[in-house]
Structure 1
Amino acid sequence: MVTFIRQENVGIIMKETRTIESFLSRYGKHNTVKSYRASVYLFLDYVYGRVRQGARVTKAEAQRYEELNRRYFSEERDHLDDLIRFIAWMNGKPPATIKVKVAGALEWLRYNDVEFTQRELRALKHKMPDAKGAWTEERDLDKETLKKILSHTDEKGRALILTLASSGLRVGEALQIKLDDLDLSTDPTQINVRGEYSKTGGRRTVFISKEAAEAIKEWLKVREDYLKSAVNRNRGLLMNGAGAKQTDDSRLFPFSDAVVRALWSNALKKAGLYSVDPATGRLKYRIHGLRKFFRSQLALSCPVDIVEALMGHEGYLTEAYRRYTVKQLGEYYLKAEHHVTIFESGDLREIKESLRDTQMAIQGYRQSLEEKDRIIQLMSERMTEMEKRLKMLEEELASSNALLLELGPWIERVKRFEAKDGDLLVAALSDERVLSMVHEVINEVKKKK
């Protein structure tokens, strides 16, 4: 779209309004794109009123945001004042959240040739909330808490949570791991974190505990079925502009961040641990707390620089991988693995037995249903056979009734004859010639039919 702008003493010049998607296409990292898109949408919501109605932006809503994007840059606006008022509008949110939203909106404005002086940027920084603003009261995750949470998750949730707790991976990184990045043949199990997955852009190798590896194996048994059931599960989403689910998704955990938030929240609710900070509206037990759990636990028996490197902290990555081989890192991890193992061997045995009992019960229900289906099928076949026999009997009965009608006059004559001379009738019926004549009459009647 081209916007015409009149400048004094210059005349009419043409300025191209760039789209939101063209702005986002400049960034290669999924999390950056996601963060900047949310920032721009929120800024436009502040300026023109909320567009998004649900958790996901529909295709029509995304188109509306593009329209507002064009409208915003076609108007004469005080961009600095808009940003300052945007900060005030977000009052009550955590300072870190406000900082991220303003940073995203600022990059978007710069992309559209809106420049700020150093003085304006200092004024903007002065308006940002400090660390004394609203902070979420976050509760630490320990092994007992995680046991409660894990007891209310399915295979995918259990595999993801145990992977995060024992590897130090960020949620965004874990959701990008491909099946080819996982090596279950090593001890400890290794995951290759490619540069494009990580926040810092650096490649690294991480490890997971044996219980996490076992949980992943269980998840892989049902992963294909999950993908098939997830494909277009709600076809209404496609009509609202959501992308179609692909069965050839090569990711280890082929689902979105929204699915992760949902499974975490549901597990917290079932475990009786769901609690929200009234000041910020955020969960007190956050799934991102698994990284903090990993760091504090692994550091009990592992050098801090190795722990930080495994977590992907940029300042430690190069140094750690220069000093240690992957094999040596794995050996250090094995020494501290028990600290990031949630269930002891007895706990695992109990869970496996419980899972086996559940599977056996399900198998019993399935066999019971199959037996009932077999009985119903047999009863249906017998009912069909009985209906056929009943129809044949009805046809024979109808034939007999017709024969009786034909023989009616003869029977009346016999009755009258019997009344006149019963002895003579008995004698006649005892005569074989008479009986033969009666049979001939009956056969003639049948032939006429």
Structure 2
Amino acid sequence: MSLKVKETTPDQALRDYLDRIYIQSHSLASVKAYRIGIIGTKNGFRIFLKEKYNCDEIQLAIRIQNKELDVYNILNEYVIFLDKKGIKPKTIRLWFTIVKGYLTHLQVDVFSEKCKQKVKLPKVRRVKKEALTKEILVRLLRNLDAKVASAVLVAISSGMRVGEIAGLTLADIEFNREPVKINIRAETSKSREDRETYITNEAANALKDYLKRYFGWKDDSSNSQLQGLRIFGRTSKFIIDKVTKEGRLPKLGEQLSDSNLLQATLTRRISKVPELNRLGRNGRKVIHFHSFREYFYTVVSNVSGPNFAHALMGHHEYLDTYYALSEKQQTSLYQKAVPYLTISDYTKIEHDLEKIQNTQDGLLEKYAEFERYLRAKDPSFLEFLRRNKEN
């Protein structure tokens, strides 16, 4: 082990590790997840080391280097420690990966093949998810405020991740297109790639109403003063201090990211409606922002094909195929899915019913005309009609 690692404090080692994680993704959420895996106050790796070996990670790395401890036994014991604490298999696998990477950062050799042989991870159970329906979504929208309802409609009709929605600015939205087009910037997307998607007229109208109400957006204006504004950022600045009971700006540690704020607000809004606040068989809420993304995939893949749905959702391997399509082809495929992505706007449905009624009226008129012709040409046709009525 290098002298540099021996002289490093645990906190400095962790900061260096988290800096490397941030460089890879520029995701604060990833950094937070990694930090919890290492220093979580209940089940973090440091808690395990303190309870089991009475040491920190630097001391552990030195003891492994000196052959006093076996890294694979340590990892296996950590998995057992988490399992006994009732941590879910998926989380155990995540924290195991985090700790393995951290030990490698501390210059401890951890080989994947040996890990597979010596460390047994609990299997993740694949539980069938409960699919959202239009009836559920209509009821949900009735219980949301303008801001969250707009975000939900954007999620349902675009397939965007909640973090991408939270990062939207007015400049990203082309309201003058049909359908309305959204340009997702690389810095806000999980894959760090620019891409495009669309929203329905229903979502666009809800978004316009929200912008008019909170930001003074105007239909017939360039709205240049709003172009860099994050649409779904905080619309209130103050929180109530628990001690003084007075309003104040939140401290850095009290601030939620815009994506967490959207999810927290959604959860709070549905918490008093039992039918909407249900848990699925997987133990997770049935309604959350990722479930809207899943709904989008189901609808669009059924109507316009899975490759097109994957591309709009930002799955890297499908983007090249998507961009090989002309813009006309892209919008045409999306328009096919619009009636199925529209939740509470029944204009299209009513229009379709009117078309069906007109078609039916036309068929009845043609039948009557044909009947009159046969009556005139063939007297036996009257007998045929009489027998049919008797039967």
Corresponding position of 2:81: 89
Q: Contact (CA 8 Å) 1:24, 1:37: kept in 2 or not? A: yes
Tell me the distance in 2 between the aligned counterparts of 1:203 and 1:239. Answer: 32
> After the TM superposition, which residues 304-323 of structure 1 pair with which residues of structure 2 at under 5 Å, given as runs?
304-321=306-323, 323=324
> After the TM superposition, which residues 39-438 of structure 1 pair with which residues of structure 2 at under 5 Å, given as runs?
39-42=37-40, 45-47=43-45, 49=47, 71-75=56-60, 76=63, 78=69, 79-91=71-83, 92-123=86-117, 126-131=119-124, 133=125, 135=126, 138-224=129-215, 230-235=236-241, 241-242=252-253, 255-267=258-270, 269-270=272-273, 272-276=275-279, 281-321=283-323, 323-345=324-346
1:193 maps to a residue whose letter is: I
Tell me the distance in 1 between the aligned counterparts of 2:287 and 2:296. Answer: 15
Say if 1:129 and 1:228 are closer, same or farther in 2 by CA, change over 3 A.
closer
Tell me the distance in 2 between the aligned counterparts of 1:138 and 1:193. Answer: 28
2:253 maps to a residue whose letter is: A
Tell me the distance in 2 between the aligned counterparts of 1:178 and 1:241. Answer: 23
SS in 2 for 1:145: helix
SS in 1 for 2:304: coil
Tell me the distance in 1 between the aligned counterparts of 2:322 and 2:267. Answer: 33
Please give the TM-score of this superposition, normalised by the length of structure 2: 0.67
Tell me the distance in 2 between the aligned counterparts of 1:159 and 1:176. Answer: 14
More off after superposition, 256-265 vs 231-240: 231-240
Say if 1:224 and 1:105 are closer, same or farther in 2 by CA, change over 3 A.
farther
How far is 1:96 from its partner?
3.0
How far is 1:309 from its partner?
0.6
More off after superposition, 286-295 vs 257-266: 257-266
Tell me the distance in 2 between the aligned counterparts of 1:117 and 1:292. Answer: 36
Tell me the distance in 1 between the aligned counterparts of 2:203 and 2:250. Answer: 38
How far is 1:275 from its partner?
1.9
1:103 maps to a residue whose letter is: T
Q: Rg: which structure is higher?
A: 1
Tell me the distance in 2 between the aligned counterparts of 1:305 and 1:227. Answer: 32
1:231 maps to a residue whose letter is: K
Tell me the distance in 2 between the aligned counterparts of 1:341 and 1:84. Answer: 50
Q: Contact (CA 8 Å) 1:206, 1:310: kept in 2 or not? A: yes
Corresponding position of 1:365: none
Q: Give the count of matched residue pairs.
A: 309
SS in 1 for 2:157: helix
1:89 maps to a residue whose letter is: F
How far is 1:341 from its partner?
0.7
Tell me the distance in 1 between the aligned counterparts of 2:195 and 2:233. Answer: 28
Consecutive unaligned residues of structure 2, counting only runs of 5 or more, are 49-54, 217-231, 243-247, 351-391
RMSD, matched Cα = 3.6
1:211-237 C-alpha deviation (Å, 9 max, x unpaired): 111111122134459967622324569
Q: Contact (CA 8 Å) 2:37, 2:44: kept in 1 or not? A: no
Say if 1:264 and 1:15 are closer, same or farther in 2 by CA, change over 3 A.
closer
1:239-276 C-alpha deviation (Å, 9 max, x unpaired): 8752668xxxxxxxx82414413423532542622123
Say if 1:90 and 1:122 are closer, same or farther in 2 by CA, change over 3 A.
same
Tell me the distance in 2 between the aligned counterparts of 1:203 and 1:192. Answer: 7
SS in 2 for 1:37: helix
Q: Contact (CA 8 Å) 1:238, 1:244: kept in 2 or not? A: no
1:97 maps to a residue whose letter is: T
1:377-421 C-alpha deviation (Å, 9 max, x unpaired): xxxxxxxxxxxxxxxxxxxxxxxxxxxxxxxxxxxxxxxxxxxxx
2:239 maps to a residue whose letter is: R
More off after superposition, 232-241 vs 209-218: 232-241
1:316 maps to a residue whose letter is: Y
Corresponding position of 2:30: 32
Tell me the distance in 2 between the aligned counterparts of 1:42 and 1:348. Answer: 52
Tell me the distance in 2 between the aligned counterparts of 1:4 and 1:294. Answer: 50
Q: Contact (CA 8 Å) 2:186, 2:193: kept in 1 or not? A: yes
Corresponding position of 1:418: none
Say if 1:327 and 1:95 are closer, same or farther in 2 by CA, change over 3 A.
farther
Tell me the distance in 1 between the aligned counterparts of 2:168 and 2:190. Answer: 14
